[in-house]
Structure 1
Amino acid sequence: MRTSRLAASALLAVTTLALAAGTSEAAPAARPHAASKTAACSAAHTKLTVQNVSRPINHQLLTLTNTGSTKCDAVAHPYLGFGNDQSVTSVVEDSKPQAVVTLAPGESAYAGIALSAADGSAGHGRWARTLRVGLDGGSDPAGEVVNVPLPAGTWIDDSAAVTYWQADPADALVW
């Protein structure tokens, strides 16, 4: 009886090895081609909005919503300029997510905007009415610029900063 069990185990092992060998030989032919990359979100297929938030103080939430019919990537972070400012707002590097935020149609990504120093220590405070938002096109950072109206009473100073795109609005406002 022991001999028949050993023979059955050996037969099972040989069969398993033969199947595995056959599978491994067939695997390269069955491999799909390299996955195509998801395109970066573009101004033509998204909607941008800005809203005030109650916390943290001196912050707003920038929302990028995919209005297209296919997925898109909210690449890196938005490039912001307030009003006619020639410079682009600084970026909170610590907010960089582990992965690019991919948006299905109708989904949104979020970036937190720190408007001014809470203690008033930063210089050049001023009112802002519009926000220029540059979307990172992957190979063409800030290639597309969209003008977005700001909520009334938006006060900024030289400490203004923006986060990377986040999948959750709460994550965008942590910084």
Structure 2
Amino acid sequence: MRTFRTARTARPARLLAATGVALAALALTACANGTGTRDEGAAAGSSTTTGTTTTTGGGGTSGSTGGGSTTDQSSSKTSGGGTGGGTGTGTGTGTGGDANKTSPNGGTKDTSDPWDPANRVTCKGSNTTVTTQSVSRPINHLLITVKNTGSKYCDLYYNPTVRFGEAQSAPRVIEESQPQAVVTLAPGESGYAGVLLSAADGSGGKGTTEQKVVVHFQNRQGDDTGSPASPALPAKGVYVDNSVAVTYWQSTAADALQY
């Protein structure tokens, strides 16, 4: 009788042990397939959203635990020892500005490079045409126009050296008329200088009427250079007194006549 009771008591224990082993196996299976435990008590129609994690590198696959870098797509951040690379190509085209620049005085465009010293010369009587013109405003003023008739760009340095009649000295220069840069003329373009002939209030003393003028050009050093020009004056001549003065070369007639 004692032996019989012992056998009946041990049988339920073995069943409980087997049940525990089965439950443990189910738990391990749930963890191994990546789903984890599930809350069966959640209300119908509700859902929970979590970020997606993808593991790459080390031979691992999505959801694996192999070594490599981990990218959290919900936050776009990368951690671990993974590497990545990218390549891109692009093409572009552009056109440079025209190297053949001219000043805005209506000349014929030259095909040579104006900034090459070989294509630039000093303006002088042999490569220009010089004319004079009396103007009504401002009064007692003469406009000198020089046109580049050569095949290269020419530079008008400083101011014209002007001598009326038999004068041995040149008029004073109006210093405030000095431009910011040397006036450069492309072939066919013109530059200008203004001459104050006499004082409107008579303060220039006794003057004379002149029928002749000679215009000299200057080089970079400020010395008279090349052949001078002898433009014709108005038929009645011009009245010149001691207040006579000349401007620097200008790129427009308006600039030349404002002094």
After TM superposition, is the score higher than 0.5?
Answer: yes
- Which structure features the higher share of helix residues? 1
Which residue is 1:141 aligned to?
A: 223
Which residue is 2:205 aligned to?
A: 123
In the TM superposition, what are the counterparts of 1:2-21 in structure 2 within 5 Å?
A: 2-3=77-78
Q: Does structure 1 retain, via aligned residues, the 8 Å contact 2:121–2:152?
A: no
Q: State the alpha-carbon separation in 2 of the partners of residues 88 and 145 from structure 1.
A: 14
Q: Does 1:48 align with 2:127?
A: no
Which segments of structure 1 move beyond 3 Å, counting only runs of 4 or more? none
Q: Which has the higher contact order (CA 8 A, sep 6+)?
A: 1
Q: Which has the larger radius of gyration?
A: 2
After superposition, the CA RMSD in angstroms is 2.3
Which residue is 2:144 aligned to?
A: 62
Q: Does structure 1 retain, via aligned residues, the 8 Å contact 2:130–2:146?
A: yes
Q: Does 1:36 align with 2:120?
A: no
Q: Does 1:172 align with 2:256?
A: yes
Which deviates more from structure 2 when the two are superposed, residues 63-72 or residues 135-144? 135-144
Change (3 A) 1:8 1:52: farther
Change (3 A) 1:8 1:108: farther
Q: Does structure 2 retain, via aligned residues, the 8 Å contact 1:62–1:111?
A: yes
Q: State the alpha-carbon separation in 2 of the partners of residues 36 and 67 from structure 1.
A: 18
Q: State the alpha-carbon separation in 2 of the partners of residues 57 and 125 from structure 1.
A: 16
* Structure 2: runs of 5 or more not aligned: 1-75, 79-83, 89-114
Q: State the alpha-carbon separation in 2 of the partners of residues 103 and 134 from structure 1.
A: 17
* Structure 1: runs of 5 or more not aligned: 13-33
Shift of 1:77: 0.5
